[in-house]
Amino acid sequence: MGAATIRDVAAKADVSVASVSRVLNGLANVSAGTRERVEQAARDLGYVPHAGARSLSMAKSHTVGVLLPDMHGEFFSELLRGMDLEANRRGYLLLFSNLHAGSSQGEAALRAMRGKVDGLVVMAPHLDEATLAQALPPSIRAVLINAPGDVRSHSNIRVDNQVGVQAVVAHLRELGRQRIAYIGGPSGNIDARERGAAFAAAAGDSALMREGDFSVESGELAIRGLLDEGAAFDAVFAANDMMALGALRGLEAAGRRVPGDIAVAGFDDVPLASYLHLTTVKVGIAELARRALGLLIDELGDPARPLTAHRHTPTLVVRQTTVGS
């Protein structure tokens, strides 16, 4: 309600608002007496500076906008966790908005954020380059996570999908697996495309590829399809953990033993993967998110800083769905 303003503090301490501002911001040029009186007054009034006014005046909000696609589960929470960690550490706040549905949603969110944030972290693996370029003018400071193509208008950081896929394929080969069935993600998703391409390149002609939509169900469906067709394969590699879980379920239902008959691997390393002993690729999404936000804050602090592009290297995590205990 009628929260105290800087004027109230100034009046109570019998000084100018300029002095109050100086004291509260820890500037040096204030006499000890003034400092003392201002601090006392501020305490008495329970004064809390109005961050909105402050940021208007300073043209700096110490807030960054986070635009994320409509995500579920652990992936999402890990992402936010990583950013929150870094935001806390560096004195920033996170203004959040989901990027559901159409790109008009995204534009609306962007408009609503102008003047409230200093920059943006945008994750948009499903947006094409043109849409992105249009919605995000270079004048807006932003760091992109897993954005498609070679966007050069903003810094970006992406998972190195190729390294991850190669590691899995090499691992399966070492185990002597001959024929790997691959369950890909939706083709509208850049990570799905990269993983699929990397797999095709690594596995060669023998590739047995099916497409899912990143859901548990689609993974199960794909496996059932393969089994029904009588396809021969001794390993399954799904483009994400959820589909790998579906595959696991489908194989179990069909009486196939894992990894005895068929080895299974996924991608992402969601917490659930460790619970189910799934061999997978650990993306380290929290760390990736932390880096993205850190990068953005660095750029905000130094506008002359050149844009950069980063690859986040994932690591293979071997568990019992490939090397059964």
Partner DNA sequence: CTGAAAGCGCTTACAG
- Pick 33 or 255: Cβ nearer a copy of itself: 255
With beta carbons less than 8 A apart as the criterion, state whether 259 and 324 touch.
yes
| Residue 69 contacts a copy of itself per CB under 8 A | no
Return the amino acid letter for 133. A
| Residue 145 contacts DNA per CB under 7 A | no
Task: Among 27, 73, 188, 324, indicate the residue that binds a copy of itself (CB under 8 A).
Answer: 73
Task: Among 245, 262, 283, 300, indicate the residue that binds a copy of itself (CB under 8 A).
Answer: 245
- Pick 10 or 42: Cβ nearer a copy of itself: 42
- Distance from C-alpha of 20 to C-alpha of 41, rounded to nearest angstrom: 10
CA-closest candidate to residue 270, choices 200, 216, 212: 216
Counting residues that bind a copy of itself (by CB under 8 A) gives 50
With beta carbons less than 8 A apart as the criterion, state whether 264 and 236 touch.
yes
Q: Give Cβ neighbours of residue 13 (< 8 Å, ≥ 6 apart).
A: 19, 20, 34, 37, 38, 40, 41, 42
CA-closest candidate to residue 237, choices 284, 195, 175, 186: 195
- Pick 206 or 275: Cβ nearer a copy of itself: 275
Task: Among 104, 114, 230, 304, indicate the residue that binds a copy of itself (CB under 8 A).
Answer: 114
| Residue 76 contacts a copy of itself per CB under 8 A | yes
Q: Which two tokens stand for residue 298?
A: 């660095």
Positions touching a copy of itself (CB under 8 A) are 1, 3, 46, 48-56, 61-63, 66, 71-74, 76-77, 80-81, 84, 88, 91, 93-98, 100, 105, 110-116, 137, 139, 216, 245, 249, 271-272, 275
